[in-house]
Amino acid sequence: MRKRIVITGIGVVTPIGIGNAEFTKALKEGKSGASSIEYFDTSAYATRFAAVVKNFEPEKFIEKKKIKKMAKFTQFGFAAAKMAVEDSGLDLFKEDLSRIGIITGTGIGGLDIIEEEEQVLLAKGPRRVSPFLIPMIITNMLPGEIAINYGFTGPNYAVTSACASANHAIGDALRLLRDGDTDVIISGGSESAIVPLGLAGFCSMKALSQRNDDPKTASRPFDKNRDGFVMGEGAGIVVLETLEHALNRGARIYAELAGYGASDDAYHITAPDPEGKAAIFAMEKSINDAGVSKDEVDYINAHGTSTALNDKTETFAIKKVFGDKAYKIPVSSTKSMTGHLLGGAAGVELAATVIGMREGFIPPTINYETPDPDCDLDYVPNKIREQQITCAISNSLGFGGHNATIVIKKYVK
């Protein structure tokens, strides 16, 4: 029989809260993390706001001497991983550390360090560039640093597939655990690209909302008047383990990670295929992989970026997968609150889905005001819905046409 995989720990660093308690409270309140950018001059930018992590104190999670050797995406992910491991109750003195792996996703990596060291190079020459430049910017340094900290010697690598990165990492972890390669995998995603170069790049693409006068209402997935996504940053990390391992150590189980499907549009470097064929395939594949029927799915955490094409295409794909039942399934986008965490998005969205499943509520899509005829599903507008979730899917659709869907089920013995 195929091994069952469960979620036993959660850690988050987000624009609406750090740690599970603060994050849960913000989800229930429908809080927006968007605000004007204060730490660099944005006066020349078309978009002057983002969803930035606030009140993050890295020294609470990381040795002081190591902080300066970590890009911010690594700091965020490292902190989230520490919280997840602590939340899981793993007794590392009793664990075989060779049976614990780490697989994380990020879309961009250490863009903040690239930008800083480029300025050093131009101003002071190549000999003054930090010897830690390369280790800080590479995407695999997050799982590497976590492994070094704990001594975990199991499978360890990073996944980079734009906005689908974290879901691909989680899906890979699911497969390795099922295959018996290891007992525990720490997985999810992290991102921090809200720096002058990152903001300029997305502004030039015309991908971002320009609601500079009211940032908190800017991320409005599925709303007719949406005008682009809001850049976010942070990390969402979970502890995954085989059910057998979790039961043997008496772990508290949040939920079961049941299925995974992946595909690619093979259509365009940024725009989704308007027919959504590959997104449909990823959802279908994940549901089949989970061994559940479509009638069992009672919540969808949408990719829901608040861009015109994504929201329309994702809605179309959901209707193609579920038929008339699509109109009866609550669909929400937590990006309306957190902004779009790019490669870290799916990790935070898995955390939100699992927390909602455990506590009996569906996170809302805030800022939803004007219905769009092309987006005509139940988007759980503006406030949470108290409702039990027994089976959910979470979608990620990335630049390059990358699609990844995971299925989460309420744990039943």
CA-based nearest residue to 85, from 190, 206, 240, 275: 240
- Examine the residue annotation and report whether 303 is marked as an active-site residue of this protein: yes
- Examine the residue annotation and report whether 402 is marked as an active-site residue of this protein: no
pLDDT of 11 = 98
**Distance (Å, whole) CA 33 – CA 54:** 9
Give per-residue pLDDT as tens, 319-356: 999 999 999 999 999 999 999 999 999 999 999 999 99
Task: Collapse the DSSP code of 161 into the 3-class scheme (helix H, G, I; strand E, B; otherwise coil) and give the result.
Answer: strand
Structure token digits, residue 405:
């869907």
CA distances from 214 to 41, 90, 334 (A): 18, 43, 18
**Distance (Å, whole) CA 405 – CA 382:** 24
**Distance (Å, whole) CA 34 – CA 217:** 8
From the list 340, 375, 391, 402, the catalytic residue is 340
Residue written as token pair 């520490």: 82
Structure token digits, residue 345:
């998005």
The Cα angle at residue 33 between residues 191 and 27, in degrees rounded to 5 = 100
Delimiting residues of CATH 3.40.47.10 domain(s) in the chain: 5-248, 260-409
pLDDT of 1 = 80
Q: What is the CATH number of domain 260-409?
A: 3.40.47.10
CA-based nearest residue to 251, from 243, 261, 260: 243
**Distance (Å, whole) CA 328 – CA 322:** 10
From the list 163, 203, 375, 391, the catalytic residue is 163
Residue written as token pair 């290891």: 182
Give per-residue pLDDT as tens, 276-320: 999 999 999 999 999 999 999 999 999 999 999 999 999 999 999
**Distance (Å, whole) CA 314 – CA 396:** 10
CA-based nearest residue to 183, from 89, 82, 98: 98
From the list 168, 203, 245, 303, the catalytic residue is 303
pLDDT of 182 = 97
CATH architecture of 5-248: 3-Layer(aba) Sandwich (3.40)
- Examine the residue annotation and report whether 340 is marked as an active-site residue of this protein: yes
Are the C-beta atoms of 71 and 112 separated by less than 8 Å? yes
pTM: 0.97
Q: Where are the alpha helices (DSSP H) in 179-276?
A: 196-205, 243-248
| Pair type for strands 234-242 and 184-191 | antiparallel
Q: How do the pLDDT tens digits run along the chain, 413 residues long? A: 899 999 999 999 999 999 999 999 999 999 999 999 999 999 999 999 999 999 999 999 999 999 999 999 999 999 999 999 999 999 999 999 999 999 999 999 999 999 999 999 999 999 999 999 999 999 999 999 999 999 999 999 999 999 999 999 999 999 999 999 999 999 999 999 999 999 999 999 999 999 999 999 999 999 999 999 999 999 999 999 999 999 999 999 999 999 999 999 999 999 999 999 999 999 999 999 999 999 999 999 999 999 999 999 999 999 999 999 999 999 999 999 999 999 999 999 999 999 999 999 999 999 999 999 999 999 999 999 999 999 999 999 999 999 999 999 999 98
